[in-house]
A = this chain, B = another copy of it.
């Protein structure tokens, strides 16, 4: 039976390290601060933002939540963002997606100061990752969290056959770049028809398709590591991942469960990265 990669346990461990770093920074009179801008009434968004806020406060990170009404204009959102972009006491900025229709979301997201880009979505930060530049830059939280899992469980990447299913800018592409930079032989799959042809030789598979039954046991090489980014609801209304967990557990060496796998890593990496941005800004100003 496969070893279960415990995302909740690892998130707790990293959160403890983050809290220690916050204490250390505060002793130098730096209080890491995350500002979240939340526009409109989307209930799921309000829930996510509340849980980020709670986690930040738990770890000693200052959390600003700016709520703006559903009918906010792009200009007034831009005004708030501009203020946060220039406020030295704010180290990390997140604009909760989705935004109301009157706002050009793609445009607004690109206006976040890249030095406060806690999501790692800004072009310049993605470019640094893609080019593997030897400099400090934030990285998309979910793939970055997956890299922490490999480290925690001593899963080697160098020279390994790694397959990333999905080429989104939030998961697939940054995941592929992180794996390339770590020395793996990396395949990025875009179409999901002949997945098996690629995955059956893979030492590591990261699935981010959002589709049930993306992988079954026959698609998996015995001894492989299977990372499931999916958050899907099955026919019984149960939260499940992309892959057939029970069957694959019999052949894989490592596997992430859903829930309790990749999910808890994302907020944890958001907090860790807020603290990193505070550190980097301190070095720059010092």
Main secondary structure of the interface of A (DSSP, over half): mixed
Copies, count: 2
A89 at the interface (CB under 8 A from B): no
* Residues of A189-207 whose CB lies within 8 A of B: 189-191, 193-194, 197-198, 201
When chains A and B are docked, how far (Å) is the Cα of A127 from the Cα of B123?
5
- Spell out A's residues near B (CB within 8 Å): 122-133, 159, 161, 167, 169, 173, 176-177, 180, 183-191, 193-194, 197-198, 201
When chains A and B are docked, how far (Å) is the Cα of A286 from the Cα of B133?
35
A84 to chain B, nearest CB (A): 22
When chains A and B are docked, how far (Å) is the Cα of A153 from the Cα of B183?
33
Question: B167, B169, B186, B193: which contacts A188 (Cβ < 8 A)?
Answer: B186
Contacts of A187 in B (CB 8 A): 185-188
When chains A and B are docked, how far (Å) is the Cα of A177 from the Cα of B127?
12
Contacts A131-B169, A201-B197 hold; do A185 and B180 have CB atoms under 8 A apart?
A: no
Q: Once the chains bind, are B173 and A131 in contact (CB under 8 Å)?
A: yes
Contacts of A133 in B (CB 8 A): 123
Contacts of A183 in B (CB 8 A): 190-191
A185 to chain B, nearest CB (A): 5
Contacts of A122 in B (CB 8 A): 127
Contacts A186-B188, A191-B159, A197-B201 hold; do A177 and B130 have CB atoms under 8 A apart?
A: yes
